[in-house]
Copies of this chain bind each other. A is one copy, B any other.
Amino acid sequence: MNINEILDKTHPINASSKIKLCECFEEVSLQKNHLIIRSNKVEKNIYFIKKGIARTFSNFDDNEVTIAFGEEGDTIISLKSYILYQKGYENIELLEDCELYKISVTKLQNLFSTDIDIANWGRKFAEQELIKAEQRFISNQLGTATERYLELIKKHPTLLQRVSLGLIASYLGITQVSLSRIRANIT
């Protein structure tokens, strides 16, 4: 998925603004297992996934929580760095070799404060992430782990081929062994 499609997916931008914005992107290729964002540091860039898949996770005490999987078109981002210029809580690792579009948060912020079209693109970007986050929260409150698992593979049918069950379990908020039991009781 190229940068044009990725940007338009969120919100169309007029031609001249889009050129300005696109000039700030740099393409990078990184290998599987690369830890592209580390927690407890201010991350200077955000990335959009052209090709590949990434996992956002966070460690607290002994627990590791998988916050999200990012596929083609999705963003690799430390929210606290991007929004508050503070140390983030997210680690992000690449689960496959990836091609990414990279942009510096500073450059993007400059465009936000000078170009209204880009500012509104940024607004739409945050708004759409917000809806996703709230719906994810609701679905977690609502259903059993079984329902959440079925919902996940229905919504992201290719995920099972790309990601190990251990990581999916941690995304669902259960142990890997529980997920295995759940799967055994379905099919």
Contact = CB atoms under 8 A, between A and B. Distances in A.
Q: Chain A interface secondary structure, helix, strand, loop or mixed?
A: helix
B130 A65 contact: no
Contact of A123 (B63, B112, B142): B112
Contact of A112 (B58, B115, B120): B120
A145 B116 CA distance: 44
A67 interface: yes
Given A80-B131, A112-B120, A122-B123, 20 more contacts: A60-B138, A79-B130, A82-B127, A83-B128, A83-B130, A112-B123, A115-B116, A116-B119, A119-B120, A119-B123, A120-B123, A123-B126, A126-B127, A126-B130, A129-B130, A130-B133, A133-B137, A136-B137, A140-B140, A141-B173
